[in-house]
Structure formats: structure tokens, C-alpha cells
A and B are shown apart, each in its own frame.
Chain A
Amino acid sequence: MAETVIEVRGLRNQFGTHVVHDGLDLDVYRGEVLGVVGGSGTGKSVLLRTIAGLQAPAAGEVRMLGTDVYRAREAELQTLSERVGVMFQDGALFSSLSVVENVEVPLRAIPDLTAETREALARLKISLSGLPWNAGDKYPAELSGGMRKRAGLARALALDPEVVFLDEPTAGLDPIGAAAFDDLIRSLSRTMGLTVFLVTHDLDTLYATCDRIAVLAEKRVLVTGTIDSMLDVDHPWVQEYFRGPRARAARDAIAAHSARE
């Protein structure tokens, strides 16, 4: 059994009287890519934000890398934040800074790093995220949506975190860009031993990158397991999601892809 990196117990989230999560349990293991799926309004992004420590839950416990995210002391959270990276949906880059400067922001927390090496490391992360050199000197407003996501990923990876949260990494990308992003996530998680928590609607991403799927429904994690095991889950939403025409197409594409290899 691999080490548990994220442990969510009895989580409850609500906005006013609207309950989003109730008694939600979830485990994420080291080195895996976990894909979280669910219909619109099932609180996928809320779950991500809660685990990442951005939105306090009404009840329940979130432990990440052994630290209780909502009861830890300030200093512990500081250490934790160096070990965790978040990529927001549209990159959430600081618009007044160039891409290199954006990636340098987390690196500034490291003492004794000279300006040149900081920039060199930022450029390495930009290159690892699949962006060309000259993209580093541009401002977020000058980048396309796909490039902003990659730059956001570069910033999330700046400190070589152990856990990375990705919020809809392929939403709004063209199929070629989305496939390239899937490959990127896959290869980064393989080579760097990253644990990836990703929220997505994209069936191709699920098939191409995820080791395990967690389905959000009925205010909790309905089921977790490999994508093939999802076909056997007896729940109308899961059946419709994973047996629908789009899922079939994604499955066929993956089968064809692996046959070619």
C-alpha cells in the first residue's frame, strides 16, 4: 500500500443552506494521478479549494502530507505550502509580472538564491512546462489560454512540490494542445514522482493520464477506482458518464493509441 498523501475525513461544505459535501472521505496516494469527476455543481472545484487550504470546511478534517490543513500553526502551513503547488483554471498569473517573474515569485522564499540562478531555475520550469524561451519574457495578457495554463503549471512546479492540484487543466484547449498537456502531466508525474490531484470534465484526460478516478455524486465521493472499473459501477450518473458516446470514443482512441505502440 502506497503512502497516503492526502486524507479527507467527514468533510462537510455548505454555502448558506446549500450543502455541497456531506461526510466526504477521500484518500490520495503518493505518486498517483487522481482524477476527480462529477456533474456540474457537485463541488469538484470546491473540494480542490478545500483540500488546498483555500476554503475552510464547515466540518471534517483534511490532512495533507501529515499536516492538518485547517488546524496547523502558521509555520507548519508555510512549510506545507512549499511542498504543494496549485494550478488554477486560467493560470491565475500575476498580470503585472512577466511569466519568468511569475515563476520566480515562489522561488523568492528560498534564501541565498542569486537573481541569476533564480531566473535560470524559472526558465527551466518554463521549459519543463513546454513553453518556448521567449514566452518567459511575455506578460500574461500576451499569451494564449493554453500558454497561460502552462505558465500556471510552471509556477505551481517552481518549488518542486510533492503534490500538485490542477483545476480543469485542459478546459478550453484545442485537442492537440489538450493532448500535449495530458502527456506533460503524465511525464512530469512519472519522472518527478509528483502526486497529482486533478479536476476535469475531459474524458480524454481521464483516460490518458489518471491512475485512479474519484466520482463525486450525492455530496460525497461515490466511488474510487481505475477507469476500467468505473464501467461496472451501478449508478445511473456513472453509467451515463463512462458509457456515453464520448467516453466510448475516448476509450477507443486510447485503445488504438496503445495498439500502435
Chain B
Amino acid sequence: MQEKPLMEHSARPVEGSFTIETEPDAARAVLVGTLGLHEFPDFHRALSEVAPDHGLVFDLSGTTQIDTSIAWAIATAQKARAEDGRRAEIVGASRDIGQILDTVTEALPAPEARAKAPGALIAILAGLGQQVVGVRLAMTEFSGVLGLFLSRLAQIIARPRAFRLTALTHHCETVGLQAVPIVSLMAFLIGVVLAFQGSAQLRQFGAEVFVVDLIAISILRELGILLTAIIVAGRTASAFTAAIGSMKMREEIDAMRTLGIDPGHALIVPRVLALILMLPILGLIANLAGLFGGALMSWIELGISPAMFMTRLVEGTDVANVFVGLVKAPVFALLIGVIGCQAGLAVGKTAESLGRMTSSAVVAAIFAVILADALFSIFFQQIGL
């Protein structure tokens, strides 16, 4: 027997056709050739146009092949009529077609009752309730991770051998050193903007020289550390969540537990501690960069020489401003670090939950930082600093 060249069956098999004729007692559907999904929509529509109380006869003697969709259309039409005790027959089906029809008839899905969808108002209320519970749950988890961190820290003081210095140094590098360029650039630009905007306003009163006080107080007290914390929250909280979350996803954290390694010691303490150590330093760098940017702009814009800026800065600005600014840094760091770690531990088994937790960690960390800053402002106001 000669083998056929490949090209001959490259095209789709010859497409089939069907006719449905209504006879007095039953409609007669004649299928010819090969029918598949492309013929299915028309075939299904034509079948549904046959009155349901009319009998049906499928003549498949001229049919070469059908696919499961055509078989489904035949089987459902047949089943609907069989239930009403009406005529529904298949004649002339070949063995292969009969097999497909049998398989499909057997597999016809039996619908199961779906739970009734609640009304719109109920759904909104349920969603709101879930969110409230979710927030409460996140707060509980937050205090849980915070407690874990503090208790592990206490253990380290009692038993310094449990401390992981290598991990701490590594995290100090990624959290602190690698953030220096972005943080100092940001602070420099903020200083420039402050000087520029401030000088435009103060010039109206002839009080240009007070631009130094404006820059010094706003940067040292608030902006330097706050904006640094926001950048670090975006950069580091997400990194913590992603790192811990992907370990959680791959069951690495469970593996650690079975091997007797405490995730608190191995993952949380080095990260949060690195952040607590590094954020004040980053804040200090931001302060310097901000002052530098402000001084540069004041020199260009107002002609305040760097020496004069320096003198004015030292004389006019209380050093308490620096203290007020930097004392917030460890608190911000603790918030960012714990939120990042907690979100990582809350990641489930899917990659989707990792993404969701990462973005929610950033939002929560930034929100927590700003909230804490507001509380600090009130506190310092009350004690008169």
C-alpha cells in the first residue's frame, strides 16, 4: 500500500451539512459528512426551533464523523423528548458515532443546585463586615508578630548564641546601604523645593533669611525622617513580604519548624533589627542631604552664602529639632518591619495571595508610619518640645 503524502490531510476534513425537515409526526434531521464545533451553533439553533412536543428522528447514515458538541446537541434533544415520552430516535449511526453518542449521553452533566446568591444589600453588608473582621484579624496578627519579635529579642539577650549576626549584616546592607542613594537624592530634591518655594513666599515680606529656619525646621523635625520612612516602607516592607511570603508558599517555613529552626530567630529578628538600626542612619543622611539641597538653592536663589546658612542654622535652630526627628525613626522602623514580616507570614498557597499581601503590606506600612507621625506631633506638642 502506498503511503499518502502528508499534504493531503493537511486541510480540515470536508465540512458536513445538515437538513431538518418537519414531517407530520416527527422532524427528521439528516446529517451528512463531518460535523464539528463550527457547524454546531447553526445545528443547535435549528434543533431548538423544532417544537418541543414534536418527535425527532436523527438520520446519521450519511455522517462520517461528529464531535462531542454535536453529540451533546443530539443527546440533550433526545433526553428532553424521552422525559416527555415522545419519539426521539437515531438511525443509521456507525459504530464510532454510536460510541461518541453513548459516551456523551453517559456523561451528560446533571446540574446540582447552586447556593442562592444573596441580594445586593446583603452582599455589601457582608463585604463590609468581612473587611472589619479582616482589619481586626490583621491587628491581632500584627501584635502577634510584634510579640514574637520582642520575645525572641529577649531570648537573644539571655542566650546570645541564638543571634544570627551574618543575617543581620546582610539585611543591614540591603535595607540600609543600598537605600542610601535613593534616600539622599529624594531628600536633596525636597530641600531644593523647600528653598525655592519658601524664598518665593518670604521674599514678599523681605524675610528671605528665614528660609534657613524654614528648611532646617521642616526637614529636621518632619520631612527628612517621614519621607525616608515612606520610601523605606515602599522598598523594604514589600521586600520582606515577598521574601517571607514566597518561603511560606513553598512550605519552607514549615520545613524550618520541623528542623527545629525558629522562624522568629531566623527570619524576623534579623530583618526588623536591621531596619531599626538602619532607619535612624538613613534619616540622618536624609537630613544632611536635605540641608545641603536647601543651602545650595538658597545660595543660587537668594544669595545666602553657605557660611551664612551655616551660622544661621546653628544659631536659629534648636538641636531639639534633630532629636524630635530622629527619635521617631526606630518606631517607624519597628512598624515597617513588623508589618512587612506579618504580611509575609499571612501569604497563602497561591502566587496571587503573595501579590495581594505585598501591595497591602506597603499600603499598611505607609499608613502606619503617617499615623504614628501624627501621634508623635501631638505628643511633642503636649510636652512642649
Contact = CB atoms under 8 A, between A and B. Distances in A.
Interface of A: 1, 3-4, 7, 63, 65-67, 79, 83, 95-96, 107, 110-114, 117, 120-121, 123-128, 132-134, 137, 141, 157, 159-160, 187, 190-193
A3 B96 CA distance: 18
Contacts, number: 89
Contacts of A128: 68, 103-104, 107
Nearest to A112: B41
Contacts of B67: 160, 192
Nearest to A82: B37
A63 to B, nearest CB: 6
B37 A192 contact: no
B161 interface: no
Nearest to A95: B352
B6 A66 contact: yes
A126 B112 CA distance: 14
Contacts of B349: 141
B68 A160 contact: yes
Interface of B: 1, 3-4, 6-12, 36-38, 40-42, 44, 65, 67-69, 72, 76, 96, 99-100, 102-104, 107-112, 114, 348-352
Contacts of A112: 41-42
Contact of A127 (B3, B42, B107, B352): B107
11 contacts: A4-B6, A83-B12, A112-B42, A114-B41, A117-B40, A121-B68, A124-B109, A128-B104, A133-B110, A160-B36, A190-B99
Closest 4 CB pairs of A and B: A66-B10, A160-B67, A112-B41, A127-B109
Given A65-B9, A66-B10, A191 B103 contact: yes
B12 A79 contact: yes
Given A133-B109, A191-B100, A66 B3 contact: no
Contacts of A67: 10
B108 A133 contact: no
A137 B107 contact: no
Contacts of B99: 190-191
A150 to B, nearest CB: 13
